[in-house]
Amino acid sequence: MTADLQTTDEPCLIAAGLSKRFGSFTAVDRLDLKVDRGQTFGFLGPNGAGKSTTIRMMLGLVSPSAGVVTLLGRDVALERTKALKRVGAMVEIPAFYSYLTGRQNVRLFARLSGGASEDDVTQALKLVGILHRADSKVRTYSHGMKQRLGIASALAPRPDLVILDEPTNGLDPEGVREVRDLIRDLGTRHGMTVFLSSHLLHEVEQVCSHVAVIANGRLMVQGAVSQLLGNHFGPVEFEVDRPEEAAALIQATMGLAPHWTDDTRVAIHMDRAQAAEANTILVGKGFKVSAIERRKQTLEDVYLQLVRDQAEVEAAELQ
């Protein structure tokens, strides 16, 4: 096997031990990421977490302090041009030529990354929903249209991997929804692998099959969204006639503290077997249990839990 041979089951993107220090400040801290072909991968973290810095390192725009990035089987530091050949990216809105039309700009920017046929340019403009304005000068475009034009420029050369840094930033709610639908389509209908960063949880939850969460430059969790949600159960809610008393009984018999109670329910963190046991105990003591429900976790619940866990770990490290 030669070094040039690429198998299709090889990950599209690998970051291994990726770090970036600015002076004494560590913006990205030993990050390991793996994105497989066909995934729509969300890179999630609050502002300042290190997302843009990571993406710049992936694209060879910033050199890592440590670690390696491999795109489509090629080391970005060693073979930047080859590594980026089948990659389309938008890190920030490109500096478009305002006196040229949208179409002319896409053509130009596509030429910088390998070129695109006239048909591909038209398709990309259509895909992002600005074909009807393609022959107007960019000077007349709104912020949202320039954002779309940036995405069109990344898509026109028909890349295998698309990397987008906060693609819905600065768009109005309608634009956000359209770009979100577009990104979903890139994966499901056009077979592209998409890596996008976002600080918006619900956005990632709606669009992405896989996610990595970072905070302070560090990876907190990575995996399939469905798996993450499955591994992090929410509390079980018992609809019961005397919630406060029911909570006290479960605490006394099973040692489980209530998460919350209200007028009709008590919610307690427990696994399935414990839920069944708690039900037996409650019914045995004459409580009227009218419903048992485990509310679906959102990515936000998981994320907030992770942030809390991380804060506890850091507090413990300081002691």
Ligand X SMILES: Nc1ncnc2c1ncn2[C@@H]1O[C@H](COP(=O)(O)OP(=O)(O)O)[C@@H](O)[C@H]1O
**3-state SS class at 263:** coil
Q: Which is nearer to Mg ion, 51 or 133 (CB)?
A: 51
Residue 70 within binding range of Mg ion, rule CB under 5 A: no
Closest CA to 71 of 45, 33, 27: 33
Task: With CB under 5 A as the rule, give the number of residues binding Mg ion.
Answer: 2
Q: Which two tokens stand for residue 74?
A: 């090629």
* Cβ distance to Mg ion smaller for residue 19 or 197: 197
Task: Work out which of 50, 67, 187, 234 binds ligand X, going by CB under 6 A.
Answer: 50
Name which of residues 82 to 141 contact ligand X (CB under 6 A): none
- Is 19 a binding residue for Mg ion by CB under 5 A? The answer is no
Looking at this protein, which amino acid is placed at residue 110? Answer: A
Nearer to Mg ion, 134 or 183 (CB): 183
What tokens were used for 40?
Answer: 């729509």
Rounded to the nearest whole angstrom, what is the least distance from the CB of residue 269 to ligand X in the complex? 31
Identity of the residue, 39 or 53, whose beta carbon is nearer to ligand X in the bound complex: 53
SS3 21: strand
In the complex with ligand X, the residue whose CB is nearer, 219 or 275, is 219
| Least distance (Å) between residue 50 CB and ligand X | 4
Dihedral, 56, 62, 66, 67 alpha carbons, nearest 10? 40
Q: Pick the piece of the chain touching ligand X (CB under 6 A) from 50-58, 115-123, 218-226, 234-242.
A: 50-58
Provide, rounded to whole angstroms, the least separation between the CB of residue 214 and ligand X. 8
Q: 52 vs 193, which CB is nearer to ligand X?
A: 52
Residues between 24 and 43 with contacts to ligand X, criterion CB under 6 A: 27
Phi-psi region of 149 (alpha: psi -120 to 50; beta: other; left: phi over 0): alpha
If binding is defined by CB under 5 A, does position 168 make contact with Mg ion? no
Instruction: State phi, psi for 263 to the nearest 5 degrees.
Output: -65, -25
Q: Which of 214, 174, 176, 158 is nearest to 41 (CA)?
A: 214
Q: Which is nearer to ligand X, 17 or 48 (CB)?
A: 48
Helix axes 143-155, 173-188, angle to 10 degrees: 10
- The most distant pair of C-alpha atoms in the chain lies apart, rounded to whole Å, by 79
Structure tokens given for 84: 């980026």
The answer to whether residues 316 and 242 touch, using CB atoms and an 8 Å cutoff, is: no
The bridge status of strand 193-198 relative to strand 40-44 is: parallel
CB of 280 to ligand X, least distance (A): 48
300-304-67 Cα angle (round to 5): 95
Among 12, 29, 31, 45, binds ligand X (CB under 6 A): 45
Examine residue 49 and tell whether it contacts ligand X (CB under 6 A).
Answer: yes
Residue whose C-alpha is closest to residue 259's, from 267, 250, 247, 271: 267
From ligand X, Mg ion, none, interface partner of 8 (C-beta below 5 to 8 A by class)? none
x/- site string to Mg ion, residues 28 to 67, per CB under 5 A? -----------------------xx---------------
Residues lying near ligand X in the complex (CB under 6 A) are found at: 22, 27, 45, 47-53
Q: Which residues sit at the interface with Mg ion, rule CB under 5 A?
A: 51-52
